Amino acid sequence: MRIIGGRLRGLKLAAVGKRRTGSQLRPTTDRVRESLFNLLLGGRFGDPVTGARVLDLFAGTGALGLEALSRGATFATFVENGRTASKILLENIARAAVEEETRLVRGDATRLVPTSGEPATLVFLDPPFRQALGGPALIAARSGGWIADGALIAWEEASEVAPPLGIARIDSRRYGDICLTICRMEAPGT
């Protein structure tokens, strides 16, 4: 795995291979990540990356949030519960030398406590497939003030998803065995 574009383009990320047994990670492939960023930056959504505050839920290796930082996001918060994944994520943050632009929250993405920080304008959601964790994670993040009204959400899952109330589905694409759904956080009352 590597960073595809931007200032960190070509940076190799920590391997998830056999030496990381027990990690149960399923990193977003370079091809899918490139397709996602081409979609986000293709004009339909303006430029949701430059200047963005990113929330990477179920962050795993952090490849999505790091890619966003490479392409102009200003800050990324990674939420990861796994011990092995957190170690890999911290290794990748160090490789990219973006410690000052990141924060790692170790915990369950479906049980986020309220935050006093600035809410995210771009959210990556890549929960374990077929476990119905994406919706609860978005509800927890929204109710805890982690996500701004109007934020764009890129949700990876094995099949199409139905977002929770208050989150509008605006696009869906299939890349092999991955379904990528783009959503937008609606303002209350809309």
* Strand 102-106 versus strand 120-125 pairing type: unpaired
- Please give the average per-residue pLDDT across 140-144, as a whole number: 96
Q: Which residues contact 105 (CB under 8 A, 6 or more apart)?
A: 77, 78, 79, 80, 112
Q: Which residue shows structure tokens 């299939």?
A: 174
pLDDT digits (tens, 9 = 90+) for 83-98: 999 999 999 999 999 9
Contact present, 12 and 72 (Cβ < 8 Å):
no
Query: Does pLDDT of 114 surpass 60?
Result: yes
DSSP letters along 117-164, please? Answer: SPPEEEEEE-PPTTS--HHHHHHHHHHTT-EEEEEEEEEEESS---PP
Distance, CA of 95 to CA of 103 (rounded, Å): 15
Q: Which helix (H) or strand (E) holds 106?
A: strand 102-106
Token readout for 179 is 């379904």
Distances (CA, A) of 14 to 10, 106, 121: 13, 19, 27
Assessment of whether the complete model's pTM goes beyond 0.85: yes
pLDDT digits (tens, 9 = 90+) for 20-63: 444 456 677 778 889 999 999 988 898 999 999 999 999 999 99
Q: Tell me the sheet residues that pair with 106.
A: 80
Contact present, 125 and 137 (Cβ < 8 Å):
yes
Q: What is the pLDDT of residue 120?
A: 98
Radius of gyration of the chain (CA): 15
Domains of the chain (ranges; CATH) run: 29-185 (3.40.50.150)
Q: Which of 8-17, 113-122, 148-157, 165-174 has the lowest mean pLDDT?
A: 8-17
Distance, CA of 142 to CA of 1 (rounded, Å): 30
Q: Which residue has the higher pLDDT, 134 or 20?
A: 134
Burial class (CB in 10 A: 0-12, 13-18, 19+), 174: exposed
